[in-house]
Structure 1
Amino acid sequence: MTVGSDLAIDFGSATTRVADSRGTMLFEQPTVAAVDGDTGRLLGIGEKALAVGLATAGRVRLVRPVRHGQLVDIALAEEVLGEVVRSSGVSRLSHPRVLACVHVGATHVQRRALDRALRRVGAREVRFVEQPVACAVGMGLAIEEPAGVMVVDVGAGMTDVAVLALGGMVTATSLAVGGDDADDAVRLSIARRFGLVVDSATATEVRRRIGSVVAALDRPRLEVRGRDAATGEPTVAVLSAAEVAPVLEDLVRPILAAAVQCIATAPPDLANDLLRSCVHLCGEGSLLDGLDARLADATGLVVRAAAEPGHSAVLGAARCLMHLDSMRSSVTSTSRR
């Protein structure tokens, strides 16, 4: 990478992605760190962290520095971001400009923490773009036009909903609900119903294979392996889609309500524009089976899913880097509140 190259960063609750201004993906790995349980030393990030955690069970803590879109351990986040930038092939000495994705309503304190972390790993300038704007640009939507467009971005830890026009957000909201919450709810449901303890990877597999928020009668039952909560012995349970659906419904309901409310609070002319357009659905959490159909029923609008739902934000931020002059109203720094 050449000195002075710009970076787009989506430091997500589940996955961290980095792209350059040409849209080339430089880094895409889980947002997790392996930390020595005795010394607190960072042993690895991403896939390496997961491998270290499996190989040294009990001596290493696996820590997620981002939860529901917020830095929960700022010192660790700085270390992780340093490794992310290094793994992206960027030297601290190159001092890149960085455009970081943030959620709707991210506070000045949250932005300030991310700004400080990125500057400490070598960024000469840090700016922010809110998720719906980045996603819209990443999906190729003409947000600079006066006609309204709508984005629903369901991430791992947060959901952002916005109606956009004239280069920015007109109405927007965010919820601390995402795919990770679905996995947590699945794990809890399995524990309560079967007395079976499963790990997060198993819960994710259950959600992806038989999880649905529409009728899924044709889905086969899924054999799930874990350990008995009482004895610790390995055991097996068999789950159906009908048993998983209720816990997912509880999480989807507020997302649908937020989308409806966002339309209701939009100016009438922009709300009418949406009747001739559609709702654009993106984010890794949007892959939940039936979410697009439920969103269409709730809003009365056509719903179109992104081709690369997890990449929309970071690729949109990368495109914004190419057009910073024309995106000034949507791209901010910590000096602007």
Structure 2
Amino acid sequence: MLNWLYNMFSSDMGIDLGTANTLVYIKGEGIVLAEPSVVAIEKSTGNVIAVGNEAKRMLGKVPGPIAAIKPMRDGVIADFEIVEKMIRYFINKVHNKRTLVKPRIAIGIPTGITEVERRAVRESCEQAGARTIFLLEQARAAAIGAGMPINEPNGNMIVEIGGGTTEIAVLSLGSMVKSKSVRVGGNKIDEAIIKHMLKEHNIHIGERTAEEIKITIGNAFKGDISKTMDIRGRDSISGLPKTERVNSAEVMDAIIDILTEILEAIKSVLNETPPEIAADIVERGIVMSGGTSLLQGFTDLVSKETEVPVILADNPLTCVAIGCGKFIEETKNLKSYRRYS
């Protein structure tokens, strides 16, 4: 009875705790928060100065006594204490003044994380004020968020490409038939662009500039590779400010190894998929979600290399958070979830 009352008045949440961004879904309201997974702290005291959007603006620009930190690395917790503070901040931001009852939280996690990493996520949420925590594989959450009929007796394939990991899963009858998690995503693409600019142009650029290049002129496949943009950074030889013009063709060359690694992971899952389910996937297509799936031409590249139709999810940036939120709204799922965890 008490649990029923708690559930009635609790602002239950679905959280996509991503390497690049954190999104929060509130039961009955949808996505209410989407901010970078960045925390600015005072080094001497560890006090939090800023979180999210405000902290991201400080990346690469903070004075010596302040550090702007990305506490998530490759989809898992790299700094337990900072993640706890970040989750607490986001929970309080969306939960304050709604109800006195602590929320239940469904949070997306990479498929391949260890028990230690799983426990770190759970403890961070508990310390941040969650009443009950459900850990949901990001691929499963993305499939739910994309509206895929994963409980039907048909094969469905999802490829969720975030900032730190690529999550690939084949699902049927609500279960994972095959899955794979590789710690490659948008951040590795940014790093490849940074290395390329230093090697080919002798210019040091930061993470924000690399991300801007990726979004503005990044390309994964044929099409318009003549786009250009001017980038600003620091000359590696003189140390002085420098401006260089780069084009989308060289950006594609810079990131092709990262894209190939993701492609090989997708192919390996397809190769291990039972024939009848593989036939369903050929008919239904592969669904792609996550911010990195928006890279120009990426869906075309995957389709060409796998010879399977590829569909971009309607809301690729929010699929995991929406999926976690929808999962926790369907309370009947929660009793049976342990068989998935």
Change (3 A) 1:218 1:242: closer
Q: After superposition, give the CA deviation of every residue in 1:131-177 in whole Å (9 maximum; x if it has no partner).
A: 11111111111100010010001101100011100012110001110
Q: Which residue of 1 aligns with 2:182?
A: 175
Q: SS of the counterpart of 2:326?
A: helix
TM-score by length of 1: 0.93
Q: Which moved more, 1:65-74 or 1:228-237?
A: 228-237
Q: SS of the counterpart of 1:237?
A: strand
Matches within 5 A, 1:177-192: 177-192=184-199
- Equivalent residue for 1:283, pick from 284, 290, 306: 290
Q: Are 2:108 and 1:74 equivalent residues in the alignment?
A: no
Shift of 1:314: 0.5
Q: Identity across aligned pairs (percent)?
A: 28
Q: Which residue of 2 aligns with 1:239?
A: 246
Q: Quote the Cα distance in structure 2 between the aligned partners of 1:101 and 1:328.
A: 18
Q: SS of the counterpart of 2:45?
A: coil
Q: Are 2:311 and 1:304 equivalent residues in the alignment?
A: yes
Shift of 1:52: 5.3
Give the aligned residue type for 1:79.
K
Contact 1:127-1:332 within 8 A present in 2 as well? no
Q: Which residue of 1 aligns with 2:328?
A: 321
Q: After superposition, give the CA deviation of every residue in 1:93-117 in whole Å (9 maximum; x if it has no partner).
A: 4211110101112222111111111
Q: After superposition, give the CA deviation of every residue in 1:186-226 in whole Å (9 maximum; x if it has no partner).
A: 01110111111111111111111221121345533221111
Give the aligned residue type for 1:9.
I
Contact 2:80-2:124 within 8 A present in 1 as well? yes
Give the aligned residue type for 1:37.
K
Contact 1:211-1:289 within 8 A present in 2 as well? yes
Q: Quote the Cα distance in structure 2 between the aligned partners of 1:148 and 1:328.
A: 24
Q: Are 2:57 and 1:63 equivalent residues in the alignment?
A: no
- Equivalent residue for 1:28, pick from 10, 28, 34: 34
TM-score by length of 2: 0.92
Q: Are 2:114 and 1:107 equivalent residues in the alignment?
A: yes
RMSD of aligned alpha carbons = 1.9
Contact 1:93-1:122 within 8 A present in 2 as well? no
Change (3 A) 1:332 1:237: farther
Q: Quote the Cα distance in structure 2 between the aligned partners of 1:191 and 1:285.
A: 23
Q: Which residue of 1 aligns with 2:218?
A: 211
Q: Quote the Cα distance in structure 1 between the aligned partners of 2:227 and 2:58.
A: 34
Q: Quote the Cα distance in structure 2 between the aligned partners of 1:53 and 1:223.
A: 20
The answer for unaligned runs of 5 or more in structure 2 is 1-7
Q: Which residue of 1 aligns with 2:5?
A: none
Give the aligned residue type for 2:139.
P
Q: How many correspondences in the alignment?
A: 333
Q: Quote the Cα distance in structure 2 between the aligned partners of 1:67 and 1:269.
A: 37
Contact 1:260-1:299 within 8 A present in 2 as well? yes
Contact 1:53-1:60 within 8 A present in 2 as well? no
Matches within 5 A, 1:258-269: 258-269=265-276
Change (3 A) 1:185 1:9: same
Give the aligned residue type for 1:294.
L
Q: Quote the Cα distance in structure 2 between the aligned partners of 1:81 and 1:218.
A: 40
Contact 2:223-2:297 within 8 A present in 1 as well? no
Change (3 A) 1:53 1:161: closer
Q: Quote the Cα distance in structure 1 between the aligned partners of 2:149 and 2:41.
A: 44
Shift of 1:51: 4.2
Shift of 1:237: 0.8
Matches within 5 A, 1:86-105: 86-90=92-96, 93-105=100-112
Q: Which residue of 2 aligns with 1:11?
A: 17
- Equivalent residue for 2:262, pick from 249, 255, 263: 255
Q: Quote the Cα distance in structure 2 between the aligned partners of 1:22 and 1:259.
A: 34
Q: After superposition, give the CA deviation of every residue in 1:231-256 in whole Å (9 maximum; x if it has no partner).
A: 22111111122211122110011211
Q: SS of the counterpart of 1:289?
A: coil
Give the aligned residue type for 2:277.
L
- Equivalent residue for 1:41, pick from 31, 34, 47: 47
Q: Quote the Cα distance in structure 2 between the aligned partners of 1:178 and 1:53.
A: 20
